[in-house]
């Protein structure tokens, strides 16, 4: 009996939330072509970039209850300690903060770093107010959520870009989430911050590449 032919890998599905943006960019490409043909290629490149960025590949979360998974695709920008945003209600003590830089070619789907319950979910629109002293991201859109699991709690902050309404939440306060579950989209964002308990053991260093829902960034203390 002949062996079955291998099935070629399928291209990841595209998030339906991105359809309006992709359609708008495609229409813009046609308008640019009508104005000046060489501009069409610029519009086409932007359309293809949007399609690529909003792909939604399947991810397999490691079977490790203590693991804290990366909430976003990107590069580990820094590992330091900072007080989490007050709206997360995670206390005023400094926690371990892992900042992830999301590049233009990275997947825009964000995933839950641990299993638990969404205890807080606060959205802050972009503000043109002058940042407070020591604050560098007050002028960008933010979506912050706290996930509680047993005695552990972590915070995730999506930092959007200069384009309004660039963050989309796929969960609500009180929802139960599993590790690696999709919880949001970061359309034009540039960074996702993760706030961990002070006794968590970090397993990554600055400069390392991470995949949402798969890469282990740290392990919680037992």
Q: Annotated catalytic sites, by residue? A: 190
Other C-beta atoms closer than 10 Å to the C-beta of 193 total 23
Closest C-alpha among 192, 188, 133 to residue 165: 188
- Are 164 and 127 contacting, i.e. CB atoms less than 8 angstroms apart? no
**From the centroid of its chain, how far is CA 194?**
10
Output the six-digit token pair for 82: 């900072």
The conformational region for residue 76 under phi > 0 = left, psi -120 to 50 = alpha, else beta, is: beta
- Are 68 and 154 contacting, i.e. CB atoms less than 8 angstroms apart? yes
Q: Which helix (H) or strand (E) holds 27?
A: helix 19-35
Closest C-alpha among 110, 118, 194 to residue 156: 194
């Amino acid at each position: 009996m002949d062996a079955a032919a291998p099935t070629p890998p399928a291209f990841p599905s595209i998030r339906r939330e991105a359809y309006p943006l992709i359609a708008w960019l495609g229409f813009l490409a046609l308008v640019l072509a009508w104005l000046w043909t060489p501009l069409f290629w610029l519009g086409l490149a932007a359309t293809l970039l949007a399609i690529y960025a909003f792909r939604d590949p399947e991810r397999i979360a490691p079977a490790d209850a203590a693991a804290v998974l990366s909430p976003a695709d990107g590069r580990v920008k820094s590992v330091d300690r900072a007080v989490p945003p007050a709206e997360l209600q995670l206390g005023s003590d400094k926690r371990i903060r892992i900042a992830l830089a999301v590049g233009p070619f990275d997947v825009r789907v964000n995933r839950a770093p641990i299993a638990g319950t969404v205890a807080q979910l606060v959205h802050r629109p972009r503000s043109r107010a002058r940042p407070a002293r020591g604050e560098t991201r007050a002028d960008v859109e933010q979506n912050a959520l706290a996930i509680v699991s047993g005695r552990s709690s972590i915070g995730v902050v999506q930092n959007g870009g200069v384009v309004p309404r660039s963050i989309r939440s796929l969960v609500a306060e009180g929802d139960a989430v599993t590790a690696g579950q999709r919880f949001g989209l970061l359309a034009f964002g540039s960074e996702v911050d993760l706030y961990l308990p002070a006794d968590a053991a970090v397993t990554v260093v600055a400069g390392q590449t991470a995949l949402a829902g798969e890469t282990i960034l740290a392990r919680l203390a037992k």
